[in-house]
Amino acid sequence: MNILFESQNGTGYITINRPDKLNALNIDTINELKETILKVDQDKTIKCVIITGSGEKAFVAGADIEYMQKLTPNQALEFARLGQETLHLMETSGKPFIACVNGYALGGGFEVALSCDIILAQSNAKFGFPEVGLGIIPGFGGTQNLSRLIGKSLAKELIFSAKMIDASKAKEVGIVSEVYQSKEELLQAGKALSEQIQKNAPLAIALAKRAIVDGFNLTKEDGLRYEASLFGVVFSSNDAKEGLSAFVEKRKPNYTGG
């Protein structure tokens, strides 16, 4: 299987598993990833998801070039649409997705990471879009997500130059939240962050994520109205009643996600 999945204590672990190909994405891998994300999104026992790559060298080293070389223009269009649709599922899921980037995150791999809510990285991580050096462009959302994250100018520089940046530079420009020395430390940090997130109300997290993701393309005024509307929605939930009551009563809340 190209995608491995397991869950422990409310955390779902997705591992892209093609280490002999540096976890490069072909259509089978993307379809498996899509199926896994849909499964995770429907599983109420999973509150947070961690994505990483198998082996020590790569998170995902990009799309499988040997596969892409055989595509017709129409097939390439469908491949891009499938990749975009799959990664968009992470962006629109009510559950937080954490990318634990070990090694190369290039092209499609960088796009997988950018579609997650939080990116943590090992010190050996390398980020980049090499596509223009191959005569193509990013096709799984990279041109849109990177520019929205770090601004047009720097996004253009990275995409036009096809150069790679290391984990420390990625943290400096706001792509990565934290950097860890070993893969073990990286995954432990991802687990700890997931556990911290799970202490909070699942519905509130889902609505806060929706406010950020959906509100990003709105004007500030429209974004504020949207935030206020979701603020009103969450107040009708049992979790809001529980959280506020627990605070007043000085006890730990027991959230059910409703």
CATH architecture of 3-197: Alpha-Beta Complex (3.90)
Terminal Cα-to-Cα distance of the chain (whole angstroms): 35
pLDDT of residue 256: 86
Q: Which option is the CATH number for 202-249: 1.20.1070, 1.10.1760, 1.10.12, 3.10.350?
A: 1.10.12
Active site members: 111, 131
pLDDT of residue 88: 97
**CA gap 71, 30 in Å, rounded:** 16
Helix, coil or strand: residue 46:
coil
pLDDT of residue 54: 96
pLDDT of residue 86: 98
Spans of all domains in the chain: 3-197, 202-249
**CA gap 169, 161 in Å, rounded:** 16
pLDDT of residue 257: 80
pLDDT along the chain (258 residues), means of 10: 96 96 95 98 96 95 90 96 98 97 97 98 98 96 97 98 98 98 97 97 96 94 96 94 94 88
**CA gap 187, 125 in Å, rounded:** 14
Q: What is the pTM of this model?
A: 0.95
pLDDT of residue 63: 86
For 59-79, the DSSP string reads EE--B-HHHHTT--HHHHHHH
pLDDT of residue 220: 95
Contact between 47 and 9 (Cβ < 8 Å): no
Contact between 119 and 176 (Cβ < 8 Å): yes
